[in-house]
Amino acid sequence: MLTITRYSSLGSLSYTTFLQREGFPEVEVPVVVINVQNFTNDLEKNNKELTIPIEQALKEVSIMESFQSTTTPVGSFIIANVSPEFSSDDALKIIKDEISEQVTLPETSKIDYQTFRAGSIDGTHDLLFSITNDSKSIVEMQNDAQIVASELASLNEVREANVIEQITKEVDSSGNEFFYQSQFQRVGLKNSDGSIEFKNAVNIGVVKRNQNVGTIELSEAVRGKVNDLVEDGVLSGYEINYGGDFAEPLKSQISSLEQNALSGLIAVIIISFIFISWRSSLITGLFIPVVMASTFMALFVMGYSLNIISLFALILVLGLLVDDVIIVVEAIAKKREEGLERKEAIKEAIKDIGPADISGTITTILVFMPMLFISGILGDFIVLIPVTVIMTLIFSLLIALSLFPMLSSWVLPKGDVSQKKFGKVLNFSSRFINKLGVYVSKYTNWYLNSKIKTTVVAILGIVLVGVGMNFAGRLDFNIFPKAKDSDSIFVNITYLPGTDIEKAKSIATDVENIILNNLDQSNIEYLTYYIADDTQANSS
């Protein structure tokens, strides 16, 4: 019992303290984006001085699989697809070093590199928020945002904080300085009367220091620092909108999954009570938390986080892991009913059902094993499902065959309690299941005693399997199903090449009006832009 208590305590600490909380697991996209700005207004010149030299350098990169380039009068844009065996940071360093060594860019050009992570807000940042102040210009807000970003970068949880600049100072081919607006950001905030008003804003993006920093931990650190800056007067008069923060919806999702897991646990206990015995339900109710605790400890030791995928996998395996303990408990109960003492009942029960229990668990593990070898982004995303399921099944088998037999022998009485008045009442359902099993066995013997009947049953089974496979072939295939319900709507605007910033603003404003006219504004919490430049805009 002491061992079980220790397991539960360590598991609880792993779940509540050690394991990092994430929305979705960290997945790196094997893509590096190279963006070179050179305001020459000369397409051929940029193609010759920027695009072609960079393409030649990329051809020499060993990890390169393919790339696509686009040349414009204001620069060059290249998407490089690299080998998924390399992390995005390593790929970025290799490509950056190769271009630095092989390519000499014009002095008037500016080159930026970007990698994408599937679990991030905009492909780069783990948290994105906006600041807005009606009394200040975009340049003034941008300068204040730089101060905020510098303060956020000093946090232990933050690797870097970036201001998404809208207005930048550039130098043309003649050496003349000019200001160029490459992006625009707006945020729709709710007024006191419930209506939505759009305002100019500046976005600040934050990248967590490493994978050991959880989404919720990062959010709490950033929000705390921003609140300090508001109190210190740095952000006096500003409205802060955390439109790109996964922490709040993550808390809600984890809470929902926890409730589902608890509901599943209660359902398993009730089913065990009704159809097996009340003693089995007590043991099952203790067994499941112990196995879960062991899984949480293993996830922490292996460096995984607690996220939507791992919690889903735990709910998925909830109905599988109880099989081990039910088999062991029922076997020991049978031996105790036959009059065997505790130790002898355990030995005989494990001897009888041990090989079958081990074989059944291994078979189930083998079903999930192929999912470990799915490659690419999808494989990185769902690998936590087989890992969690397999670990849980292994712990379930080991604990059911080691820790719980002795506990079961103490809880289960010696002799047949079903004949006692109290036992007849509590074991009514289990006795009904036993009688049902007798009738099923009689039916099986009925058709097995005749070759004709056996053949008919076999053919019928094959026909039913064939019908099922036929319907399976008609099912539509989607890697991820469409959401039936969501608290967010994303609208993506892609502009035609050559669309200037003013025209882009005008189109975005029209889209804003369409959204406000077709949705009940009282149900809208906020609207914010994640990306907005002269090529595309993305708002929610």
Residue 128 is classified by DSSP as: E
Please check the confidence at residue 540 and state whether its pLDDT lies above 60. no
In this structure, which long-range contacts are made by residues 529-532, counting pairs with CB atoms below 8 Å and at least 24 apart in sequence?
A: 529/130, 529/184, 529/185, 529/186, 529/187, 529/201, 529/203, 530/121, 530/122, 530/128, 530/203, 530/243, 530/244, 531/122, 531/183, 532/183, 532/184, 532/185, 532/186, 532/504, 532/508
Higher-pLDDT residue of 271 and 17 is: 271
**pLDDT for the residue numbered 247:** 83
- Residue from 235, 62, 227 nearest 135 by CA: 235
Question: What is 2-21+249-415's CATH number, 1.20.1640.10, 3.40.50.300, 3.30.1490.20, 1.20.1050.140?
Answer: 1.20.1640.10
pLDDT score, position 225:
94
| Chain segment 446-497, per-residue pLDDT in tens | 888 888 888 998 999 899 988 888 887 777 766 556 666 667 778 888 777 6
Say if residues 536 and 493 touch (Cβ distance below 8 Å). yes
Q: What is the C-alpha separation between 181 and 230, in angstroms, rounded?
A: 28
CATH 1.20.1640.10 residue ranges of the chain are 2-21+249-415
pLDDT for position 539: 40
Taking Cα atoms as reference points, which of 343, 353, 386 lies closest to residue 368? 386
- Give the DSSP per-residue string, 63-110: TEEEEEEEEETTEEEEEEEE-TTS-HHHHHHHHHHHHHHH----TT-E
Is a pLDDT exceeding 80 seen at residue 4?
A: no
- pLDDT per residue as tens digits for the range 199-217: 889 999 998 887 778 888 8
Report pLDDT digits (tens) over 121-158.
777 788 999 999 989 988 899 999 999 999 999 999 99
Q: In angstroms, how far is the first alpha carbon of the chain from the final one?
A: 52
Say whether pLDDT at 223 is over 90: yes
Q: Determine the Cα–Cα distance for residues 140 and 121; give it in Å rounded to an integer.
A: 25
State yes or no: pLDDT of 241 exceeds 60: yes
Closest by CA to 93, choosing from 124, 53, 59, 61, is 61
- Give the CATH number of domain 28-117: 3.30.70.1430
Both tokens assigned to 102: 């092989």
Burial class of residue 435, CB neighbours in 10 A (0-12, 13-18, 19+): exposed
Q: Where in the chain is the domain with CATH 3.30.70.1430?
A: 28-117
Q: Average pLDDT for residues 75-99, to the nearest whole number?
A: 86
Rg (CA), the chain: 31
The SS3 call for residue 379 is helix
Mean pLDDT of 181-193: 82
Among residues 260, 142, 247, 118, the alpha carbon closest in space to that of 204 is found at 142
Give the C-alpha separation, 206 to 162, whole Å: 6
Please indicate, yes or no, whether the overall pTM of this predicted structure exceeds 0.85.
no
